[in-house]
Amino acid sequence: MFRPRSPVLFAVFALGAAVPAQAHHSAAMFDVDKSVTVSGTVREFQWNSPHCFIQVVDATPQSGGEWSIEMGAPVELTRLGWKKSSLRPGDKVTIVIRPLKDGGKGGRYVSGLGPTGAPLGGVR
The predicted structure's pLDDT at residue 5: 62
Q: What is the pLDDT tens value at each position of the chain, 124 positions in all?
A: 555 565 554 444 444 444 444 445 577 899 999 999 999 999 999 999 999 999 999 867 666 789 999 999 999 999 998 999 999 999 999 999 999 999 999 999 999 999 889 999 654 4
Q: Where are the alpha helices (DSSP H) in the chain?
A: 7-22, 74-79
Domains and their CATH numbers in the chain: 26-113 (2.40.50.140)
pTM of the model: 0.75
Radius of gyration of the chain (CA): 18
